[in-house]
Amino acid sequence: MRYWAAAKAAAGTAEEPYAAATLAEALDAARAAHAANPEFARVLLRCSFLVDGDPVGTRDHGAVPLAEGGTVEVLPPFAGG
């Protein structure tokens, strides 16, 4: 998972590996890993996601499969966009 802007600040890292079959599982694991920082979970609520370069949009995160070795981009809202 690659974190950008506020998500990066809340996670305290720019990226970290995931072991999950779906986006929902990966996000649940990330929330658990960063449970000591409640701001992380709040930031995720405002984020959009790209999975291997494709926007997730409004799809159910439980229905978004993740490939082994793939990339999840965690994108908080950016100023002006």
In a domain, 78, yes or no: no
pTM value is: 0.92
CB of 20 closer than 8 Å to CB of 74: no
Q: Please name the residues in contact with 45: beta carbons below 8 A apart, sequence gap of 6 or more.
A: none
In a domain, 39, yes or no: yes
In a domain, 79, yes or no: no
Q: Please name the residues in contact with 6: beta carbons below 8 A apart, sequence gap of 6 or more.
A: 43, 46, 76
- Residue with structure tokens 């986006």? 23
pLDDT-derived band at 78, boundaries 50, 70, 90: confident
Taking the C-alpha atoms of residue 44 and residue 50, their distance in angstroms, rounded to an integer, is 13
* 19-66 confidence digits (pLDDT tens): 999 999 999 999 999 999 999 999 999 999 999 999 999 999 999 999
Domain count, the chain: 1
- Residue with structure tokens 């978004």? 64
pLDDT at position 77, please?
Answer: 87
In a domain, 4, yes or no: yes
What's the domain range around 2?
1-55+68-73
In a domain, 6, yes or no: yes
In a domain, 60, yes or no: no
Distance, CA of 24 to chain centre: 9
